[in-house]
Amino acid sequence: MAKAPIDLRSLARGHTVMCIKVLAGIASQKASPKNARVAACAALLDRGWGKPHQTVGGEDGKDIRITIRKMLGKDDD
């Protein structure tokens, strides 16, 4: 994914406080649809605490093993 220009990121970050207030408002409004409240809560938690780690495992919860059979060099196709 291409990086956003620094000025665009800076402009977006300038709205952080307002966005957090909007998310908190949606999360706290009992009249808001439940799915909107859940999404707002999830967004707030992700920003405050980070997204939870996701463990990837194979069948039966065992580790996934990858075997590389052939490595291609720069000139190989």
Name the burial class of residue 24, with classes exposed (0-12), middle (13-18) and buried (19+) by CB atoms within 10 angstroms of its CB. middle
> Residue ranges of the domains in the chain?
6-52
Q: How far apart are CA 45 and CA 52, in angstroms?
A: 10
Q: What is the pLDDT along the chain (77 residues), one digit of tens a residue?
A: 666 677 888 898 899 999 999 999 999 999 999 999 999 999 999 999 998 887 777 778 778 888 888 888 877 65
Question: Which distant-in-sequence residues (6+ apart) come within 8 Å of 44 by Cβ?
Answer: 20, 23, 24, 27
The answer to whether the beta carbons of residues 27 and 41 sit under 8 Å apart is yes
pTM of model > 0.75? no
Q: What are the structure tokens assigned to 6, written together? A: 């620094």
